[in-house]
Amino acid sequence: LSVKSRTLLSTDILVCSYMNFQLRHVHLDLRLNFAVKEMSGWLVLDLLAARPGVQTLVLDSHPSLLIHSIDCKVPGSGQDAPVSLTYRVDPFTDYGSSLNISLPAAAAKPNRMFQITVRYTTTDGPAIWWLDSELTCSQSRPLVFTQGHSVCNRSFFPCFDTPAVKSTYTATVRVPDGVTVLMSASRSSYSKQDRVFQFSMEFPVPSYLVALVAGELQHVDVGPRSRVWAEPCLLSCAVNKLGGSVERWLGVAEDLFGPYLWGRCDIVFLPPSFPIVAMENPCLTFIIASILESREFLLIDVIHEIAHGWFGNAVTNATWEEMWLSEGLATYAQRRITTEAYGEAFTCLETVFRLDALHRQLRLLGDNNPVSKLQVKIEPGVNPSTLMNLFTYEKGFCFVSYLSQLCGDIKRFDSFLRAYISEFKFSSVVAQDLIDYFLGYFPELKDSAVAQREGLEFDRWLNGAGPPLYEPDLSAGGALTRPVQELCELWAGSDPPDPQAVATFDLSTWSTFQTVLFLDRMLDQSPLAHGTQYYYYHHCYYCQYYCYYCYYHNC
């Protein structure tokens, strides 16, 4: 973290004492027990004290973790044997607890590496989802997966559960016969006889991007660095829908933003009980299987998660108060990729659909609602996940689009984003880091004081509630959006629509986005009861963002 980032984060609401330590590496050694739905084993943290005299290590934890013992090794201190440590678990919020560990004096010396080993067992925590066989697609074997975003992984393993801290990690996972394990890392070895999988993530990642899935999983390679994983009954469908597209999308993204840094770009399709649509775990995107019903939604969501390989995973928001640094930039990058791969009209249609949803949410919440700010203040005890909404995606996208417009040439902005990734890769940043780098990259914009331009001030963008101060020109999608609006006007008029006029619209040629945009706009003009409209736009932010699936699957 930069000095600027540390200063801005000093008042962040966290339980862990990450500012006092440097986390170098995490190792997990776990045994999965499907019969009792438990993971048991140990966690090893390689740490250095960042300040002299630190006596306590505080980790984020969760009441669902049963801590059995904690010990410490300080290599080179004359006490190479592990020393048992005292600890206590204190309540924190409804989404976690604090694990307070008393350190020996030898571990408190700055720049001396020491290891903390925590032996523990997981129970029923929010990060770990055990599915009985009846809840899987094949209904033949159980399955387990983890979902760490935003602050759930503290119920997977004790950690510094903040995006400000990154480290490499390794894992050893022991499973019953017939179970395949995948993680957000490269598989380094596998013993069929012992049923032991080993993984290694050589690049630093935040705790929320450590992910695991285990079950009856098979794969097909769909490119030189990508494969599709799924239960056997889903695999052929998933492969047919994706084909060789993943490598194509990766190539376009690399042309725009620089090399893909993570080696593998695999995708695993999970049962419909997966709690979100997709998750950008490095090396292995998790995605819900029900999205296979729509080629367009599948395309958009996979490309969005690929974009996170640069924006969110390589360069990460240092605080959950600025999630737009991940989601807004990834949404912009996603749309640059789709523009290059499928044309500007397609991208404009998808953007119109999303911005319609943004303004619909604003009408429900009101322009002055603080959740519409890009920088949202997280109050004590508030789960950051509850503040994830369309604004982090779409208002963030509009701000990034405004920065691009200031450059006068979208290719110049592509070059800036490549440089930004190169400068900050594998680190965590705050919004001011992005803005300062932008103004330094384009000194003529800094000299013309664009950050203080009346009505479009950067501070107002970040801290002001309400709609975006600028929206990009989407007229290139007019050929696709005009028929939608014309049909809406026919249906929403005061008189019944003329059947002959309606028949002139060939809906068989419409894309999914056109159909859903039409349904959305009809609902906007319809006198449906409030309860019906609320059902359509479920309170969950994921369903607001992917409202088609909320409506279609009654989720």
pLDDT per residue as tens digits for the range 142-183: 999 999 999 999 999 999 999 999 999 999 999 999 999 999
Does 84 sit behind a cis peptide bond, omega within 30 degrees of 0 on the bond before it?
Answer: no
Determine the pLDDT at residue 554: 34
- Of 18, 120, 208, 393, the active-site residue reads 393
Confirm whether residue 304 is marked as ligand binding: yes
Active site residue 471: no
Q: What is the pLDDT along the chain (555 residues), one digit of tens a residue?
A: 554 554 455 444 566 889 999 999 999 999 999 999 999 999 999 999 999 989 999 999 999 999 999 999 998 877 778 999 999 999 988 899 999 999 999 998 888 999 999 999 999 999 999 999 999 999 999 999 999 999 999 999 999 999 999 999 999 999 999 999 999 999 989 998 999 999 999 999 999 999 999 999 999 999 999 999 999 999 999 999 998 999 999 999 999 999 999 999 999 999 998 999 999 999 999 999 999 999 999 999 999 999 999 999 999 999 999 999 999 999 999 999 999 999 999 999 999 999 999 999 999 999 999 999 999 988 888 889 888 899 999 999 999 999 999 999 999 999 999 999 999 999 999 999 999 999 999 999 999 999 999 999 999 999 999 999 999 999 999 999 999 999 998 888 767 788 899 899 999 999 999 999 999 998 888 664 344 333 333 333 334 334 433 333 333
Active site residue 305: yes
**Is the Cβ–Cβ distance between 270 and 238 less than 8 Å?**
no
CA–CA dist 538, 456 (Å, integer): 32
Structure tokens at 44: 């090893």
Q: Other CB atoms closer than 10 Å to residue 448's CB: what's the count?
A: 12
CA–CA dist 304, 367 (Å, integer): 27
What is the b/e burial string over 303-327, where b = at least 16 CB atoms within 10 angstroms of the residue's CB? bbbbbbbbbbbbbbbbbbbbbbbbb
Radius of gyration of the chain (CA): 24
Between helices 512-525 and 478-492, what is the axis angle to 10°?
40
Domains defined along the chain, listed by start = 16-127+145-208 (2.60.40.1730), 316-463 (1.10.390.10), 475-553 (no CATH)
**Is the Cβ–Cβ distance between 97 and 103 less than 8 Å?**
no
H, E, C per residue of 8-61: HHCCCCCCCCHHHEEEEEEEEEEEEECCCCEEEEEEEEEEEECCCCCCEEEEEE
Determine the pLDDT at residue 381: 80
Determine the pLDDT at residue 9: 52
Structure tokens at 415: 């070059």
- Of 216, 231, 280, 305, the active-site residue reads 305
